[in-house]
Amino acid sequence: MSHPAVRLVGIQDTPLSVAEVVDGLDDDASGGLVLFVGRVRDHDHGKGVTGLAYSAHPTALDRLHDVCARVAEEYDVSGLAAVHRVGDLAIGDLAVVVATTSAHRGTSFEASRALIDTLKAEVPIWKHQLFADGTEEWVGAP
């Protein structure tokens, strides 16, 4: 399933670029652009995080395309983008960038929230966190 508003979708092992996402959604019809950037934080569950790694199932990119198309179909957006990083990430690295554009800000806020929430719930990307105390945790893995 494809939708003309879906302009940038990717899963990559190289650093993410907010500018690339914003530039990919540039158009004169959009009055609102809402951007969400997910970063690697230095703590979780009250424990220090030293780093993490993301892994993706071979179907993850297709699932991400499907999620993007569904969100674009449900909301009146003129542009939509979603990119997720895989591999080893350090504290502060960008893990995910999603954005939507529409004629009005309210639609973009709603669509961006739906996009990140649905991506996290449905796209098979798993996080392996490493904690400062030597323990580790898999998040989202089956």
Residue 11 falls within a domain, yes or no? yes
Question: Measured between alpha carbons, how far is 45 from 23 in angstroms, rounded to an integer?
Answer: 36
Residue 1 within a domain: no
pLDDT at 142: 73
Find the domain containing 82 and state its range: 6-139
- Residue 57, class by beta-carbon neighbours within 10 Å (0-12 exposed, 13-18 middle, 19+ buried)? middle
Residue 1 has pLDDT above 60, yes or no: no
Residue 121 lies in a domain: yes
Q: Is residue 68 in a domain?
A: yes
**Is 37 contained in some domain?**
yes
Determine the pLDDT at residue 29: 87
- Locate 129 and state its tokens: 């966190």
pLDDT digits (tens, 9 = 90+) for 11-22: 999 999 999 999
Tell me the two tokens of residue 10.
């990717």
Q: How many domains does the chain have?
A: 1
In a domain, residue 51? The reply is yes
Q: Name residue, tokens 């806020």.
A: 109
Give the helix/strand (H/E) hosting 120.
helix 105-122
Categorize the per-residue pLDDT at 52 as very low, low, confident or very high, splitting at 50, 70 and 90.
very high
The verdict on residue 135 lying in a domain is yes
Q: What is the mean pLDDT of the chain?
A: 96
CATH code at position 121: 3.90.1170.40
Task: Please state the pTM of the whole predicted model.
Answer: 0.94
DSSP 14-64: S---HHHHHHHT--TT-SEEEEEEEE--SEETTEEEEEEEEEE-TTHHHHH
Among candidate residues 37, 11, 25, the one with its CA nearest the CA of residue 94: 37
